[in-house]
Amino acid sequence: MAEFTMELNDEQKEVQDWLHGFAADVIRPAAAEWDEREETPWPVIQEAAKVGIYSLDFYAQQYFDPTGLGIPMAMEELFWGDAGIALSIVGTGLAAVGVLANGTEEQIGTWIPQMYGDAGDVKVAAFCSSEPDAGSDVASMRTRAVYDEAKDEWVLNGTKTWATNGGIANVHVVVAVVDAELGSKGHASFIIPPHTPGLSQGQKFKKHGIRASHTAEVVLEDVRVPGSCLLGGKEKLDERLARARERAKAGGERVKNAAMATFEASRPAVGAMAVGTARAAYEVALDYAKTREQFGRPIIDNQGVAFQLADMRTSIDAARLLVWRASWMAVNGKPFTAAEGSMSKLFASETAKKVTAEAIQILGGNGYTREYPVERMHRDAAIYTIFEGTSEIQRLVIARTLAGMPIR
């Protein structure tokens, strides 16, 4: 087990400096433009690919960092730069992790390179789980995958929504129902290769924040993919379904808790994104409070403003510590007996929403305009309390865990 420390090691600090430089020099200056354009910032992704930030190697290196701090550190720095652009850069990684975690070696080797493309021809990938009638309630999913044994093909039909990079992705990872009796245990994930007939983009959403990140519906109409596109393979799926049926008969709790552990391990990464946005807004507010003078003195000389900044910084540091703890627990296989992953996501995302609103207040009229970045950061921050499980769902998971109740 990696020893716990509150400090990043030298190698991590070096990576952090490098990422911070990219966020400050490339991402932040482009943020306002791509927010206005509401388009995927391809030139910035290309830059990130050129320097090695947009690549499986980089993502995997952070993901497998034995201290658990690689991903939270990377997310915080990139999202400090700008949330919309950073999501365009890391969105592919979220889809790739689905393949890394559940795919066979052959699937990993075949599909992940096609998700990223290369520096001269970058591609993106999408992870499609949510549906119009299945958001928080994943078990209500309707997209069906039916096996055509004669052709060794899967046929998918349904509509996915809210997919980051949906429709513009080279590779889509789609979660579908293979056994409706088993609820969320009857789901499986499929690779939809580039240019597969039947997959199309539906509505592209015009959003409140993270507008540089593309979010759209994905429509699947008789989409046929080879049997080899089922993540993990048919044999493993059949074994898993058989086990789920047995456990469902025996009460089902062990299965539910295993599924929950996966979310506990991935939620701190979203918490780290929120910490990045919160820190960015706090820094702008701190600088402004030191230089803006009213009544003949900097506004930070007023205790009302200074205390607000003190509280903002305290919450941000507390959020980061919760995120780091949960990430460390995940990588060291510690049981999340109090849903510590959900705790970190809940606290960090609510902190980002609050701190970015306070930053607007500290900047006064300027904070309310697009001349300053804090209004954008506040719009961006709202997403953290919604995706990867809303704040209410985090509270529900924490409460049920504490009560020893099963989580649906």
Gap between the terminal Cα atoms of the chain: 31
Between residues 215 and 308, which has the closer beta carbon with respect to ligand FAD? Answer: 215
Nearest distance from C-beta of residue 266 to ligand FAD, angstroms: 12
CB of 88 to ligand FAD, least distance (A): 12
CB of 244 to ligand FAD, least distance (A): 21
CB-wise, 229 or 396, nearer to ligand FAD? 396
- Tell the smallest beta-carbon distance from residue 10 to ligand FAD (Å): 35
Decide the pairing of beta strands 187-192 and 171-177: antiparallel
Tally of residues, the chain: 408
With beta carbons less than 8 A apart as the criterion, state whether 237 and 39 touch: no
Cβ pair 269, 275 in contact under 8 A: no
What whole-number distance in Å separates Cα of residue 342 and Cα of residue 351? Answer: 14
**Are the beta carbons of 305 and 299 closer than 8 angstroms?**
yes
CB of 396 to ligand FAD, least distance (A): 5
Q: Which residue is closest to ligand FAD by CB?
A: 135
Shortest distance (Å) from residue 183 CB to ligand FAD:
15
Residue 50 neighbours by CB under 8 Å, 6+ apart: 119
**Least Å distance between CB 374 and ligand FAD?**
20
| Phi/psi at 95 (5° precision) | -70, -40
Q: Which is nearer to ligand FAD, 68 or 166 (CB)?
A: 166
- CA 265 to CA 339: how far, in whole Å? 10
Active site residue 371: no
Nearer to ligand FAD, 40 or 67 (CB): 40
Q: Which is nearer to ligand FAD, 368 or 387 (CB)?
A: 387
Contact 128, 141 (CB under 8 A): no
Measured CA to CA, the distance from residue 316 to residue 351 in angstroms comes to: 7
Minimum distance of ligand FAD from residue 92's CB (angstroms) = 11
Burial string for 79-95 (b: 16+ CB within 10 Å, else e) reads: bbbbbbbbbbbbbbbbb
**Residue 69 or 396: which CB sits closer to ligand FAD?**
396
Nearer to ligand FAD, 255 or 383 (CB): 383
Report the candidate in 240, 218, 237 with the shortest Cα–Cα distance to residue 228: 237
Residue with Cβ nearer ligand FAD (163 or 377): 163
What is the C-alpha separation between 42 and 44, in angstroms, rounded? 5
Q: Which residues bind ligand FAD (CB under 6 A)?
A: 127-130, 135-136, 162-164, 207, 210, 215, 383, 386-390, 392-393, 396
Give the number of C-alpha atoms closer than 13 A to the C-alpha of residue 311, restricted to the C-beta side. Answer: 12
- Say how far apart CA 254 and CA 366 lie, in whole Å: 53
Q: Which of 47, 86, 74, 131 is nearest to 380 (CA)?
A: 86
* Candidate list 293, 375, 388, 392, residue with the active-site label: 388
Q: Using alpha carbons, select from 137, 134, 94, 146 the residue that is nearest to residue 116.
A: 94
Helical H segments across 186-252, by residue range:
234-249
Tokens linked to 353: 């929403």
Which residues are part of the catalytic machinery? Answer: 388
